[in-house]
Amino acid sequence: MIHWLRVVADATPLRENHEAHLSTQHAQTRQDPRIPSSHGHSGGPPGAVPSAGQGPLTSDRLNSSARPLKGGREFRSVRRGRSFRLPLLAIRKLPYRPRHGEPYRPCPLVGIVISKKTLARAVDRNRARRRLRAALAELSLPPCRAIVMPNKEAKAAPFSELKRQLEAALGPGSPR
């Protein structure tokens, strides 16, 4: 515990040159001024629920079993896959193969690519990406590796239509 000395100034001057009489007193013990650690008091009202964490997209946030494609090598390998177009989307798709060194756990790996040529503003690209992720999260997809490239119309299309086209392209009865 740190004990601080507090200087208290007396309001009455002692001499003509306006010097003041200063006395020293020990300050009363105070609480530590540091911010509490994460396991301490949260600072909110009692019973408050913490906010959802931020961070990279994990498998449980995209779909219960789906994961995003990672790295240029995975995207390049899917480019060799079969491609087809729908009114709102262009799709490239390959059958599922685990990543190098991973055990065989069949799940969909989906990457979303939106170029600046398609949607010029970053706000629009991010919105389209979020809508596609939300639609993918509601679908139960078979194991595959796919790249989804939305058109300009996908940004303003109804969510049900976007979801229907994703189901047609990536769902169980989709073209392989």
Please give the DSSP secondary-structure letter assigned to residue 74.
H
Query: Among 3.30.930.10, 3.30.230.10, 2.40.30.170, 2.70.98.90, what is the CATH number of 59-170?
Result: 3.30.230.10
The number of CA neighbours under 13 Å toward the Cβ of 135 is: 28
Instruction: Give ∠ CA 105-107-111 in degrees, rounded to 5.
Output: 130
Query: For the chain, which residues make up each domain, given as ranges?
Result: 59-170
The pLDDT of 92-118, averaged and rounded, is 86
- Span 28-57, pLDDT tens digits: 666 666 666 555 555 566 666 655 555 554
Q: Is the pTM of this model over 0.95?
A: no
